[in-house]
Structure 1
Amino acid sequence: MGGHHLILGEMDDFITGEALPDTHDERYRQKIARFLVLEKGYAKEDVHPRNPLTVAAGNRRGQLWVDFMVTVDDRTAMVIKYGPGSLVTRYRPTIAISRLVAPYQVPVVVVTNGESADILDGETGRLTASGFDRIPSREALLQQLARAEFLPIPLKQVEMEARIVYAFEIDGSCPCDDTACRIA
C-alpha cells in the first residue's frame, strides 16, 4: 500500500489490532473508530472497518473500501464513509453505497472528513444532523432501528446505485489512489 499517501510508519488498528500503514487518512479513521467505541457506546464487535465492496457499471467492475459498517441487532444499521475535504460532494455516492452493502436500505449514512460529519437518512438521502458529535450513539441508533423498515432494494435500483458508486469512487478516483481500483 502506498499510492499518494505519505507513510509515516505503522500503527495498530483500534478495532482489530491489525498493523496498518500510518497515514494522515488512517489517523482520522482511527479517531472515528475510537470515538464510536469510547464516546458513542458501540462495542468493537459492532464496528466493522475496511469493508470491500465490488461494483459493476455495465461491463466495468471496480472495488472500493467502505470505511465503517456498524451493526446492531445483527443488522447493518449505519455506514460511515471518510474522505478529506468537502462533505456534501460525498453524499450521493455514500447513499448509493448504503444501498449496496446489505440486501436492504441501511438506515443511517454518515459522511465525515474526521473533523466534521453529516448524518443522512439512508432512505431519503436528506441531511438529518451535522457535526461529529451528532453521529448517533448506539442507544440512539437502536431507537432509530425500531422505526426502520429495512426495505429491500429493487434489482434495477441496485444496478443504478452501483453505476453511481463506480462513477464517483472508481472512475473518478485519482490514478494513484490505492483505496479504489478497477477490476476489469
Structure 2
Amino acid sequence: MSTYIPLGKNPASPEERKKLIGEKVCRDESLENDELARVQSRTLDFLMFQKGYCKIDLQEKVLFKIELPDASFDALADIVITLNGRRFILVKCAVNSPASWERYSVAFCRVADVYQIPYAVVTDGEDAKLLDAVRGRPISEGLESIPSKDEAIELFGKTEFMPFPAQKAEREKRILFAFDTIKYSSLLVEPE
C-alpha cells in the first residue's frame, strides 16, 4: 500500500514528482533540525542553570568514528557531560519518541569510546530518562532526575571506567549502524 504525500500540486511528470518530494523531504528535515536545535539549547540551559554544570563540562555535537568489519560510520553525540577529562554522561536529544532512543543511547555509551560512558540521558527537553549504560537499565525519570554537577562528581568517584567486552562490541556497533541507516534512509529512497 502506498502512502499519500501532499506535494501542494499534481506533478506533471515523474521528474517533477521526484523534485517535489525532494523539496518536501528537505523542508521536513529542516523543521525537525530546527526543533532538535531547540531541544538541545533548552537542555544545555537546563544543565548549566539548573544543574550547575559549566560550559567546559559540556561538549556539543561530538562525532565518534565507529568501525565495523564491513563498514565505518560517524555517530553523533548531541551533548556529552565530561568530568575530570572523562566522558561521563551522554545526552541524547530527541524531537519525538525519546523512549525509542534508549537502546541506541546504551549502545552508543558502550562502544563509542575506549571505555564505556557510564550513563545516558534521553530527553525531549520536557522529560528525561536517566540510564545506567553499563547495565543497560533505566535508573530514573524526569528532568530533575538528571544528576547535578555535585551529584555527578559523587557518582564519578564511585565509577570504574571499563571497556565494553570485545566479543559483544560488534553487536552494539550494529545497533548504532541500524539506527544511523534508518535515520538517513529517507534520503536514499527513490520515488516510484
> Normalised by the size of structure 2, how large is the TM-score?
0.77
Q: Residue in 1 aligned with 2:106? A: 95
CA contact (8 A) 1:87 1:112 kept: yes
2:92 touches 2:121 (CA, 8 Å); kept in 1? Answer: yes
Please state how far the C-alpha of 1:83 moved relative to its aligned partner: 1.2
Gaps of 5+ in 1: 8-21, 178-184
The answer to whether structure 1 residue 171 and structure 2 residue 162 are counterparts is no
Task: Supply the RMSD in Å over aligned alpha carbons.
Answer: 2.0
CA deviation string 1:78-136 (max 9, x = no partner) = 00011122222111111011112322121211111121110001211111110112111
State the 1:176 CA deviation. Answer: 4.8
Alpha carbons 1:77, 1:108 under 8 Å: kept: yes
**What is the match of residue 66 of structure 2?**
55
Is 1:69 matched with 2:80? yes
Corresponding residue to 1:148 among 159, 174, 178:
159
Secondary structure of the corresponding residue to residue 75 of structure 2:
strand
CA contact (8 A) 2:35 2:95 kept: no
The one-letter amino acid of 2:151's match is A
Equivalent-residue separation in structure 2 for 1:74 and 1:64 (angstroms)? 20
User: Which protein shows a greater Rg?
Assistant: 2
C-alpha separation in 1, matches of 2:52 and 2:96? 27
Greater helix proportion? 2
Higher strand share: 1
Query: How many correspondences in the alignment?
Result: 161
Q: Report the residue type matching 1:143 in the other structure.
A: E
| CA spacing shift, 1:122–1:45, aligned 2, 3 Å | same
Q: TM-score, normalised by structure 1?
A: 0.80
Percent same amino acid among aligned pairs? Answer: 27
Are 1:6 and 2:31 counterparts? yes
Other structure's SS at 1:50 match? strand
Cross-structure match for 1:43: 54
- CA distances 1:5-59 after superposition (whole Å, capped 9, x unpaired): 239xxxxxxxxxxxxxx81210110111111111111110000000012224441
Determine if contact 1:55/1:163 at 8 Å carries over to the other structure.
Answer: no
Does the 8 Å contact 1:66/1:80 carry over to 2?
yes
- The runs of 4+ residues in structure 1 deviating greater than 3 Å are 174-177
Alignment partners' CA distance in 2, 1:39 and 1:176: 37
Structure 2, unmatched stretches of 5+, are 1-24, 188-192
> Could you tell me how far apart the structure 2 residues matched to 1:53 and 1:46 are?
18
Asked which structure has the greater RCO (Cα within 8 Å, sep 6+), the reply is: 1
CA drift of 1:171 comes to: 1.5
